[in-house]
Chains A and B, each alone.
Chain A
Amino acid sequence: MTSDRRVPRAARRAVPPGLLATPALAWLALFFVAPVGLVFWYSLGRKPGLYQTHANDVLTLDRYREALGDTFLTSFSGTLRIGVTGTALCLAIGLPFAYWLAVKVRPHRRFVVLALVLVPFWTNFLIRTIGWQVVLSPEGFASRAMQSLGLIDAPFSMLFTRGAVLLGVVYNYLPMMILPLYVALDRIDGSLREASNDLGANRWRTALQVTLPLARPGIAAGLLLVFIPLMGDYVTAAVLGGARGNMVGQLVASQFQQAQNWALGSAMAVVLIVVIALTILATAAAGAVCTWLLTHRRRRELAGIAEGSAA
């Protein structure tokens, strides 16, 4: 009897700690590794006939050659430009805003401001983007307001310009930037800013030397949360940019939906994934190099003080 009871206890102790991560790993495998693997597998195949979407009877890299054609590359560079510019704009607007919210706004009002930031999310993504179409059209509010202010004489359309696309991008993605930045900035103990100020640094130097370095995780999270979905988004660009807003996501979707060529669509998707990953890596590397260069001289200046004491 006693030994019976002892066995499961010993077995429990023998459970490797990694086992507890199984559900998470299974989730990751099922919803991330498997679909991406499948897409990669399809990208190595071909479209065998008019009524079939894909076949892997011969493995070939031809779909990639096909995918990297002129249309795709043009559209791709446009997408990358909008992705990078849009993300940078979101950071440029979101960072001061999040700082203001986390530092200057009184705690009991922050909730209200945060709620206002999130209000657009209460409406459907497509509907609120189309709403901008109404505002930006030649008969729309923006044009009429500028006319009544005397800024322009004739009806003017901002619609279907790159500016309109960026406006929509910032509008749709800014909250995804503000939230992680706010969380990161809010976590920084206010006494650290006071200490910096007390030690002779003014507001700007404090922001550069204390607040920003400590907010780095939030900045990274915000950049990822905006850049990745933005690279795949084609609705915003199509609705507000018209023909100019031809994003690579649209090409991928049309291969799957209209052309029914899953092999080519998959190859384009893989290229997209790889480029996104490379962009992220390049940004991270650039960030690390900049930080190292900025602090290198100062580190060297203080290096070896501890060793001196050992003597």
Chain B
Amino acid sequence: MSSSPTRNAVASGRRADAGDGKGSVELRSVSKSFGGVTVVKDLDLSVNPGEFLSLLGPSGCGKTTTLRMLAGFEQPDSGEVLISGAAVQHLPPHKRDVNTVFQSYALFPHMTVAANIAYGLRQRRGIDRAEIRSRVAEALDMVQMTRFADRKPNRLSGGQQQRVALARALVNRPGVLLLDEPLAALDRKLREDMQVELKLLQSRLGTTFVFVTHDQEEALSMSDRVAVMLDGRIEQIADPYTVYERPATAFVAGFIGQQNFFDGTVADAGRAIEIDGGTVLPAEPVTIHGSGAAAVRVAVRPEAVTVAEAAPAGPDGSANALPGAVAAVSLLGDVLQYVVHADAGHELLARVPRRQAGRLAEGARVWCSWAPSDVHVFPAEVTPRAPIGSAK
């Protein structure tokens, strides 16, 4: 097979020009309900041309519905949808400058791979046959499926069907490509390869990608920005680094990666938080509006927690530290993970680089401690706590 442009792709400067608005997406206070249940609530979202944006959230939070409103399969009850600068909420799908990669791939079973890819071009006027042929060949080459041009989709593997679905959408050169969990059906190894390939393809083509996923690792590794959704709203929209390091809400903190959560109350004018069996000191004084001892939720990442047999010696004494016993140790590649039962009843998760420390045995008495800069404080909302490990 000829050397593929995909593999050799470098993020070239061929991104769509931000000036003409081609490839931009905007949702303005869009709402949608099904049978009285509001699925998308007053949603605002703006995607820049050439951006790779992920919609990330738990199952049922309205990601697919949002995407389907962009594609035109669902009409919003209220609000505006703009694609490439034009209001499209009243246009049917076939008149929008978007194409979709479906989760089920939705390849036409009665057509060959090449005919599937040619389908979109054949619906248009003014594309002659030679051009259809050359663009189909180019798209096949782009996803390295040239050899399979004459096959029917049912004789392809899942990963190959995925590539055909991608080529079938991209051959039309849409301003915006919508992808609904396109990798969810692939096995782990293939999925990771495809993540890299998709990302390279996107930066080479400069097409705006709106990518739906419930997999936070996938979203973090591929996206320019991640929009974390919950119950039809966007909880936070930011670049992956910010979403991970500075989660805006307790839900985002719990959904992205793992967290140790403590419920407590604010004391000492915001300079301390009392939790069961200890005190948490934040980096900066907490300002929670309201009277009296405000209830808060504190989050500390497992990798920020230090596990030691000796009590931490610091100016703050026993603040940001909890005594307990090691309940379980497991090796996760290069990292040791401890589950510690704190004496006050908390269950803490800690991750320590394997080489950095000697391995502590199960049952050992330890202190778990962390720095004030690793403390995130959120208002104690009604948001249900995401159980540890829920974010896959």
Given known contacts A199-B172, A202-B92, is B122 in contact with A305 (CB within 8 Å)? no
Contact A298 B115 (CB under 8 A): yes
Question: B154: shortest Cβ distance to chain A, in Å?
Answer: 13
Contact B146 A302 (CB under 8 A): no
Asked if B99 is an interface residue, CB under 8 A from chain A, the answer is yes
A170 to B272, CA, bound (A): 83
Interface size of A as a range: 20 to 34
Question: B34: shortest Cβ distance to chain A, in Å?
Answer: 12
Contact A308 B146 (CB under 8 A): yes
Q: Which residue on A lies nearest to B103, using beta carbons?
A: A191
A141 to B367, CA, bound (A): 93
Chain A hits for B172, CB < 8 A? 199-200
Interface size of B as a range: 35 or more
Contact B133 A301 (CB under 8 A): yes
Residue in B102, B114, B118, B137 whose CB lies within 8 Å of A194: B102
Q: Which residue on A lies nearest to B151, using beta carbons?
A: A306
Asked if B364 is an interface residue, CB under 8 A from chain A, the answer is no
Chain A hits for B378, CB < 8 A? none
Asked if B306 is an interface residue, CB under 8 A from chain A, the answer is no
Question: A290: shortest Cβ distance to chain B, in Å?
Answer: 15
Contact A195 B100 (CB under 8 A): yes
Q: Which residue on A lies nearest to B171, using beta carbons?
A: A199
A309 to B1, CA, bound (A): 7
Asked if B257 is an interface residue, CB under 8 A from chain A, the answer is no
Given known contacts A189-B106, A192-B108, A199-B172, is B115 in contact with A302 (CB within 8 Å)? yes
Mask, A173-205, CB within 8 Å of B = 1, is: 000000000000000010110111111111001
Determine which residue in A189, A192, A309 has the highest number of CB atoms from chain B within 10 A of its CB, and name it: A309
Asked if B383 is an interface residue, CB under 8 A from chain A, the answer is no
Contact A200 B94 (CB under 8 A): yes
Contact B94 A301 (CB under 8 A): no
Asked if A55 is an interface residue, CB under 8 A from chain B, the answer is no
Residue in A205, A213, A310 whose CB lies within 8 Å of B123: A205
Q: Which residue on A lies nearest to B124, using beta carbons?
A: A200
Mask, B106-129, CB within 8 Å of A = 1, is: 111110101100111011100001
Contact B146 A306 (CB under 8 A): yes
Contact B106 A191 (CB under 8 A): yes
Asked if B150 is an interface residue, CB under 8 A from chain A, the answer is yes
A185 to B110, CA, bound (A): 14
Determine which residue in A200, A213, A214 has the highest number of CB atoms from chain B within 10 A of its CB, and name it: A200
Asked if A207 is an interface residue, CB under 8 A from chain B, the answer is no
Contact B149 A200 (CB under 8 A): no
A interface residues (Cβ-Cβ under 8 A, vs B): 189, 191-192, 194-202, 205, 209-210, 213-214, 298-299, 301-302, 305-306, 308-310
12 contacts between A and B (CB under 8 A): A192-B106, A192-B108, A194-B93, A194-B100, A194-B102, A195-B108, A200-B120, A305-B149, A306-B147, A306-B148, A308-B137, A309-B146
B interface residues (Cβ-Cβ under 8 A, vs A): 1-2, 71-73, 92-94, 98-100, 102, 104, 106-110, 112, 114-115, 118-120, 122-124, 129, 132-133, 136-137, 140-141, 146-150, 168-169, 172
